[in-house]
Structure 1
């Protein structure tokens, strides 16, 4: 075995590892979009490594040229696929236009290799000789152009992973670190291979991919890389409609999304010029005040109009020290105005309900009042009397009742007319109301009135009835010859009855006694 035997064996081992890892990742293709580009990348590295092994495996000289095409097919495929894999891991959607754009250079590379035996633009010179036969080349201009492009693609991928590592913690951060090391190893080895002053007999870059294969196998199997692909910040923060601001502990704006820039003052300037400036100088005073109030949520009304729901949360490190604040402002103008409109509608509804209740109470009260005298009528009197009798019985106090009747009222109507009769009833009602509580005087019907005397026994009720009779005798209605007299019957509960019917019947009999005894007098119930 030549001196290249062990090195070729290691490269073959690297190809076996990348192939095995590719099989493992291919099985995860249904779980994440990152699986397919990683599988293609590992397959490309495998093809690259096998080609290098064949170039150092003592093949016939006529076969060595045939290994160049698959070698660079693996190189370009690895660069393209690793770039797409990093895009998928960082959350970028793998759109066909982006894949096609990255595929232009590999296609041109393969075309240049096909034409290179005539043009010699990729390999300026090709010399096959030695024992065993080896293919020795010098780089042409297209080789260096391809190398520069490949390095640029790899560096942009590494930059994406570095930014991902800075913005994540825990397992996602360890995954990003693993991917950085996996990319750095073959990158450093390839720099050594193409360096003009370094004379390596074989391309050891595929050997460095042994490290890449092992690291990616660890990430896939132990860190569950393809199950926990993080979502890119651009897909979360940049696309949300809420304004998002990050403010450091000194009150300076350190980050914001497009919706946040739209909420800044009109004179704040472009988005790339506001970072680093005092947050309070960039936003409306109402928003700045809500943020200065600390953690919490509040609705503010900016000067430009509308309403914003401002939520502020402190960001702290592992030791609990404050690093800054995250401020999320959501435009709730439509919702807030709808809530206010609903509240105003509810207020109007409550006012209308109150008006309806008041009108209903007025109607009930009006229905219970006599339209001529304004006194309560007998419609609800019996129910009210029953309630008062129950209360009087519970407290052990008497309740007296006086039933009054205007003497010769029919004759008044016949002689002087109904208008005078109505005036008599109105004046009698006024006098009775002046000598008793208004709620205790009831027009019982026609020329009859009832006066309730709470807490008065029989003797006291009779004396009050005499006062009422005397007061009514002084009623004058404009007819000088008309003299008004009143007859009254008095009954007291519980002596004369305990129910409304019993008490009214007793008072009515006493009233008939007063009428039969000559009128203009008060008679007690038996």
Structure 2
């Protein structure tokens, strides 16, 4: 260097003196400072963009790197407070102390930002990137799995060609800036498809980002849930039917199918209460089969049951809207006739008696024949409550039996 002086142009002053750089030295220095300055600009940009949790790390690195740079600048521009001394080594010592403190006392680099490309590569959602001409430029492994793409030779090809394995693909997906819908891939895979236009803060890039989320398990679970709900609704309907059937069975006589005594008591009490308000009559007909014990003794209980069922069918067919035929117990029956006057009740009861008397009921090789007696009473004429009304009808029935059976008598016709 003593021949050309391009790096070191000599020393100035006595003693330690001051270093005088040559032309190449200054070119090298400015070049080095330009590189170091550019690196610090990048670090400062990272510092400004980084989330708050990472800014402390970037700030410590920037601060530690600036100390030796500042010492070196003071030295080469002859601004050092130590004549003839180089402050750069002292700056490196301070820089080492700052970064060491940051590493061992402040947790520098304990949290390291994860590379975004590594995150995308490990995502369960499929990610595809298209350029402005809708050519496939990138995709992650999840997208290859969802779309059935085996090789990366599809990169650079138009989307329709690159995704040929997607049988449900439609160019309409790319006809709008943004798209979101649930689509089918093949016959059994359902995905949530989102397509977004790629743009920066300054300009619109024209590319597109496609994100595919496989929701097949969710749809399968939803279908299974709907199926379970459907079965549950069907079961609830069956339960309601069973409940209605049980309610019906609770108020029905199992042999004749007529209402039972419990239903009679509840209905008659309700009808008497309504009649008290409306002043409409309520009539009851109490029926008892004649010589029923003799029929059981002669032909057996099967014949008796058959006659009871026959009476039940006859009473049920003779009822009008609002009437109720009930089996009171044994061979006794009660017909409730709301809104029916005493005289009409007598006529209807006697008509049923005549129809029953004319019947011949086949039972094996026999033809069963029987008659019944009946007593009629009307509220409030013959009784003001449930017990007194049925008692009046029972007295009339007893009188009909006493007079020879096979007849209908009303409560007022009882001989005094």
| TM tier relative to shorter chain | 0.5 to 0.7
Matches of residues 185-224 of structure 1 in structure 2 within 5 Å?
none
Query: Which residue does 1:42 correspond to in 2?
Result: 66
The TM-score with structure 2 as length reference comes to: 0.67
Tell me, yes or no, if structure 1 residue 523 matches structure 2 residue 406: no
Residues 51 and 71, structure 1, Cα contact 8 Å, conserved in 2: no
- Offset at residue 517 of structure 1 (A): 3.2
- Offset at residue 376 of structure 1 (A): 2.5
Tell me, yes or no, if structure 1 residue 354 matches structure 2 residue 237: yes
- Offset at residue 469 of structure 1 (A): 0.8
Residues 400 and 408, structure 2, Cα contact 8 Å, conserved in 1: yes
Matches of residues 72-83 of structure 1 in structure 2 within 5 Å?
none
Query: Which residue does 2:5 correspond to in 1?
Result: none
- State which of 292, 295, 311 in structure 2 corresponds to 1:428: 311
Query: Which residue does 2:76 correspond to in 1?
Result: 52
Mapped to 2, the partners of 1:457 and 1:29 lie a distance apart of: 95
Query: Which residue does 1:32 correspond to in 2?
Result: 56
Query: Which residue does 1:338 correspond to in 2?
Result: 221
Matches of residues 347-386 of structure 1 in structure 2 within 5 Å?
347-386=230-269
- State which of 395, 398, 413 in structure 2 corresponds to 1:509: 395
Mapped to 2, the partners of 1:503 and 1:287 lie a distance apart of: 83
Query: 1:42-88, CA deviations, whole angstroms, 9 ceiling, x for partnerless residues?
Result: 2242243234235999966xx7xxx59849979x99xxx9xxxxxxx
Query: Which residue does 1:452 correspond to in 2?
Result: 336
- Offset at residue 450 of structure 1 (A): 1.6
Query: Which residue does 2:159 correspond to in 1?
Result: 278
Mapped to 1, the partners of 2:127 and 2:68 lie a distance apart of: 42
Q: 1:57 to 1:473 in 2, by over 3 A?
A: closer
Tell me, yes or no, if structure 1 residue 492 matches structure 2 residue 373: no
- Unmatched 5+ stretches in structure 2: 1-11, 14-19, 100-107
- Report the count of equivalent residues: 357
- Unmatched 5+ stretches in structure 1: 82-92, 99-229
- Offset at residue 353 of structure 1 (A): 3.5
The TM-score with structure 1 as length reference comes to: 0.54
Matches of residues 94-105 of structure 1 in structure 2 within 5 Å?
none
Mapped to 2, the partners of 1:320 and 1:54 lie a distance apart of: 47
Residues 290 and 300, structure 1, Cα contact 8 Å, conserved in 2: no
Query: Which residue does 2:327 correspond to in 1?
Result: 443
Mapped to 1, the partners of 2:374 and 2:344 lie a distance apart of: 14
Residues 489 and 525, structure 1, Cα contact 8 Å, conserved in 2: yes
Residues 407 and 486, structure 1, Cα contact 8 Å, conserved in 2: yes
Mapped to 2, the partners of 1:489 and 1:314 lie a distance apart of: 93
Residues 48 and 71, structure 1, Cα contact 8 Å, conserved in 2: no
Q: 1:462 to 1:296 in 2, by over 3 A?
A: farther
Residues 405 and 447, structure 1, Cα contact 8 Å, conserved in 2: yes
Mapped to 2, the partners of 1:498 and 1:290 lie a distance apart of: 83
Query: Which residue does 1:466 correspond to in 2?
Result: 350
Which structure's residues are more often helix, by fraction?
1
Query: 1:398-454, CA deviations, whole angstroms, 9 ceiling, x for partnerless residues?
Result: 443222111122233234433322222122222222322598221111011122334
Single out whichever of 419-428 and 322-331 deviates more from structure 2: 322-331
Residues 287 and 372, structure 2, Cα contact 8 Å, conserved in 1: yes
Query: 1:322-375, CA deviations, whole angstroms, 9 ceiling, x for partnerless residues?
Result: 956543321223333233223333333333333333334333433433232232
